[in-house]
Amino acid sequence: MKKNTVVIGLALFAMFFGAGNLIFPPFLGMESGTDWVIGFLCFILIDVAFSCLGIFALNAGGGANVAVESSLGKVPGLVLNTAVILCTGMIIAEPRTAATTYEMSIVPLFGDSMGMLLFSVLFFAVVLALSIRQTRVVTIIGKVLTPLLVLCVFVIIITGIVYPLGDIGAPLSEHPAQDGILAGYQAMDVLACVGFAIVMENAVRTAGYTRREDQLKVIAGASVVAGILLAVIYGGLTYLGASSALAFGAGMDRSTLIVEITKHLLGNTGVIILGIIVGLACLTTAIGLTGASASYFERTTHGKISYRVGVVVTVLMSVAICNLGLNAIVAFAAPILSVVCPPFMVCLAMLLFKKRLSSTWPIKGAAFGAFVISLLATIDDTYGVLPAIKQLPFTDLGFSWLPFAIAGGILGAVAFKVSKGSKAVA
């Protein structure tokens, strides 16, 4: 069981560790400066803690589809699950893997003579080949690709710790905690829980675990393995970004920053190593997201959309969207994720305590409260028409939705008791 737990945990780590996980922590460290630890802790709270707990919570709650739909209701749960899968699959996260690989692996080494279109076709052809057989996804990622990925990342991080780029300067941002939370949203690992929970469920069954208790034990252990690796690597990458601020100055975009850090630490060899890291990280994530999306739609449609059809559709849509470019994808993703992430995170957190709740009404109320405020805050961020939103508690921390989620949960519990009392009287 231990061997399978480690292999599945490595695969889960590699599926989580994709484009956003590589480019966001260094940029967060550069902006946070001496407050980089605060930004880092907020980042791993959203990106690691919620993601790894979410994998376990969804499986413990009966599976990704069932857990959310049984908590929020059939239609709201289906809508939220599908929105999450579309974000992590063909619309945002998966296209971003190819765009990031092109801008950080191909262009620095070979220039842009190939062009994004040709590269994206080749990239997703590999993804298609490695994910078309559902049972091979976790084995390919966990046993073959992840060890090389981890080794390459640690080479850069250890070099940066032993030979720092410079002193850590004053923060460039006034809100490192909020920056860390927003970076956690952008990394999108918490949303990937729906699809990856299905992949994990399939993986433990393929490994021969038929008893529910054994399946959950392996999934819990795998989540711990993935969480520890993610936290250690994120900490190292954030530190590299913090130590680079005085050396490079402000103004670099996310992908350029990590390229320059690596080049200064290891020269041209470092750029090659970074290219390998980016390629492996994005490829493993793309494979995981493709398999997750296809499995989700096969399960949701009860086989009307087969796994292989789902893989092909996901790959074709990803090819089309990734040609918009990395910056464009990050830009249009921000408001979408700011609306979708909070209610989903609330649902994941409350799933851990579902058995202790007398009904699902508190979960519904909390998720609805988080959704409404997140929607209003995003509208204000985009159009500036609701300035009063900025006066809400915890806005500076990126948690303006939290008090309303709590209030919604309490109102849901009260409404359930009132409803139950009315039926008893009747």
Where does residue 212 rank: exposed (0-12), middle (13-18), buried (19+ CB within 10 A)? exposed
What integer pLDDT is reported at residue 371 of this predicted model? 94
Q: Dump the DSSP string for 264-279.
A: HHHHHHHHHHHHHHHH
Contact criterion met (CB below 8 Å) for 308 and 135: no
Report how far apart, in Å, the C-alpha atoms of 65 and of each of 18, 197, 302, 309, 355 are.
24, 9, 12, 20, 17
Backbone angles phi, psi at 302, to 5 degrees: 55, 45
Identify the pLDDT of residue 285: 81
* Distance separating alpha carbons of residues 280 and 258, to the nearest angstrom: 16
Q: Tell me what pLDDT residue 140 has.
A: 61
For 87-211, where are the alpha helices, taking DSSP H only? 93-101, 107-110, 116-131, 137-139, 146-162, 176-187, 189-206
Question: For residues 84 and 74, is the Cβ–Cβ distance under 8 A?
Answer: no
Token pair for residue 82? 């599908």
pLDDT in tens, the chain (426 residues): 678 888 888 888 877 887 567 888 999 999 898 999 999 999 998 889 888 888 888 888 877 778 888 889 889 999 998 988 888 888 888 888 888 888 888 888 888 888 889 999 999 999 998 888 766 655 666 566 777 778 888 899 999 999 988 888 888 888 888 889 888 877 778 878 888 888 888 888 887 888 888 888 999 999 999 999 999 999 999 999 999 877 776 677 777 888 888 888 988 888 888 888 888 878 878 888 898 899 889 988 989 999 999 999 999 999 999 888 777 887 778 788 888 889 988 998 888 888 788 889 999 999 999 999 999 988 988 888 888 888 888 877 678 899 999 999 999 999 888 877 665 555
Structure tokens at 180: 């860390």
Extract the tokens encoding 251: 């103004």
The upper half-sphere exposure of residue 95, i.e. CA atoms within 13 Å in the direction of its Cβ, equals 26
pLDDT of residue 421: 62
Distance CA(203)–CA(49), nearest Å, equals 22
The per-residue pLDDT for 19 is 59
Contact of 225 with 10, CB cutoff 8 Å: yes
CA distance 178 to 193: 22
* pLDDT score for 123: 93
Instruction: Please check whether residue 404 is in contact with residue 370, taking contact to mean a CB–CB distance below 8 angstroms.
Output: yes
- pLDDT single digits (tens) 284-338: 788 888 988 998 899 889 899 999 999 999 999 999 998 887 778 877 787 888 8
Is the separation of the CB atoms in 10 and 220 below 8 Å? Answer: no
